[in-house]
Chain A
Amino acid sequence: MRPDLEIIQQWIQPGHHVLDLGCGDGTLLDYLQRERGASGFGLEINPDHITTCMGRGVAVIEQNIDTQGLGNFDDGSFDTVLMTQALQAVRRPDKVLDEMLRVGREGIVTFPNFAHWRLRWGLALSGRMPESEALPYKWYNTPNIRLCTFKDFEALCRQKGIRIKSRRVVDGQHQNSWLARLWPNLLGEIAIYRITRENEQ
């Protein structure tokens, strides 16, 4: 099992109702349904991914978070709202975070860290936009338009009154190394954040 799924699934209880923003081919939801008895929906815009979801029995709704928002979901209608590797691809990550914690009691977010040492090193040495396993695109064709660092994200959370319940830092293969835990903003490639509103338990 992918280590990030292993980490995320620990935070999902049996029967939890889950919304997965940018659910891709439905791997995570499928896993949570089968292994954790969760229910819920995935939102996706890639036609091939939608087809794959439908074929594996994941409830998927074609919906663009950027243009359509989450207005069709009621306040507090999900236990957990997931967004893995999509925060950096939306136009207003700050608003998406607000919406996530409006429709869900809790959010789980993962994104690539733009302050990882290899990216810093690459930019410093070559003077060109860095590429990595977590960011395998050219500057002109990348879907990632709002890159940030772990520090940036945590600052935004503080500003918005979002409480970080847990943070697990992993590398590009989603392995959890002790070094990355020690200096996350330098050595961590991807973080898995579990967030909630300040006043939520």
Chain B
Amino acid sequence: MPDSLPADSVGIVSPQIYHFDSPIDLACGQALDSYDLVVETYGELNADASNAVLICHALSGHHHAAGYHAMDERKPGWWDSCIGPGKPIDTNRFFVVSLNNLGGCHGSTGPSSTNPATGKPYGPDFPVITVGDWVKSQALLADRLGIQCWAAVVGGSLGGMQALQWSLDYPDRLKHSVVIASTPRLTAQNIAFNEVARQAITSDREFHGGRYYDFDVVPRRGLMLARMVGHITYLSDASMGEKFGRELRDQAYKFGYDAEFQVESYLRYQGERFSETFDANTYLLMTRALDYFDPAYDYGGDLSRALTGTQCEFLVLSFSTDWRFNPARSEEMVNAMIAARRKVSYSEIDAPWGHDAFLIPTPRYTDVFTAYMDRVAREVGA
């Protein structure tokens, strides 16, 4: 156990549960009568509540974005590289809010929560949630926290979609939208990967049509496969090559089908760990939310028309080796913002790590992100 935490860590943090009693209407036509959101916050909200930053999470989302839950926690929150004292999202200046989204499996109401109508877990009866639904629930959370307007809404990947959706749905409730390693809509290839992941889960014999809770089992193999496929798409060929190459676990080929290459055992390990902590129905729900996201849909595919009502400024960042949501997808978004005469800054960060680069500190990324957020902080007097 370490004696002390890094100086640029937000330190020991603990999540809080916010209970909501008023029904929330969802895009699918259903409603949730009541629900919980699990939230972590870092830093202090200033007197006029102008220094709040919302962190929107990516696919395997968690409210635990920065700091440690206990001194002996092995790893900090998922975006600890960017949130903390002196980091791009500087907690000496900003009040940072991070939550587990609706439909999640880390404490917020989701498929594994008890359905008050039946006294059993929702399972497949949990409504399909969209990015817009998440944004709506986050706005209700902002009301509860006394935050009328976010200094910035920030997210990577699926989180970036939420940051974009915020600018469309609540134009007067955020000053900046920071969209990192994201896309204005999934491509057929993206959806195809999601479908493989879902098929892996639903075809697991322990899935039981999503009612596996009733059988006290978990579709572990399906989840593991889903995560393995996902994981491959988050890395670049070069970063995988650098990490594993063709390295074998033992010296020679065994002419069998066990994990012989290091990369195989790494993927299996990651998949297994994920299947122990993540809910299969939540994975289905979140990949579906990704598929459906397309703010231009209601505007005949014209994203710039969708953006004309926005008021915030945008920062868009992409990564050169991200092939899941490649830089061209970000440029599409930026061009729509330009056409809509929005104020937008854009940079393509040269980094070798693929899609996951948004979680990994590289000097150029840190510099640009820090410079932008520093300016946001100055603007709100933080």
Contact = CB atoms under 8 A, between A and B. Distances in A.
Contacts of B246: none
Contacts of A12: none
Contact of A56 (B331, B341, B346, B375): B375
Nearest to A53: B345
A57 interface: yes
A61 B344 contact: yes
A61 B372 contact: no
B345 A54 contact: yes
Interface string A46-62: 01001111111111111
B375 A50 contact: no
B131 interface: no
B372 A73 contact: no
A174 B21 CA distance: 67
Nearest to A42: B345
A51 B371 contact: yes
A54 B338 contact: no
Contact of B345 (A17, A39, A59, A73): A59
Given A47-B364, A51-B368, A62-B347, A57 B338 contact: no
B315 interface: yes
B339 interface: yes
A54 B372 contact: yes
A54 B343 contact: no
Contacts of A51: 364, 367-368, 371
A59 B343 contact: yes
A46 to B, nearest CB: 11
Contacts of A59: 313, 343-345
B374 interface: yes
Contact of A52 (B341, B346, B348, B371): B371
A200 interface: no
A141 interface: no
B335 interface: yes
A101 B335 CA distance: 19
Given A54-B315, A72-B335, A73-B338, A61 B375 contact: no
B375 A62 contact: no
Contact of A57 (B347, B367, B375): B375
A56 B338 CA distance: 19
Contacts of A74: 339
B334 interface: yes
Interface in A32-88: 39, 41, 47, 50-63, 72-74, 77
B172 to A, nearest CB: 19
Contacts of B344: 41, 59, 61
Given A51-B371, A55-B371, A56-B375, 11 more contacts: A41-B338, A41-B344, A47-B347, A47-B367, A51-B368, A53-B345, A58-B345, A60-B345, A61-B338, A61-B346, A62-B346
Question: What are the 7 A-B residue pairs with the smallest beta carbon separation, nearest first?
Answer: A55-B371, A72-B335, A54-B372, A54-B371, A62-B347, A61-B346, A51-B371
Interface of A: 17, 39, 41, 47, 50-63, 72-74, 77
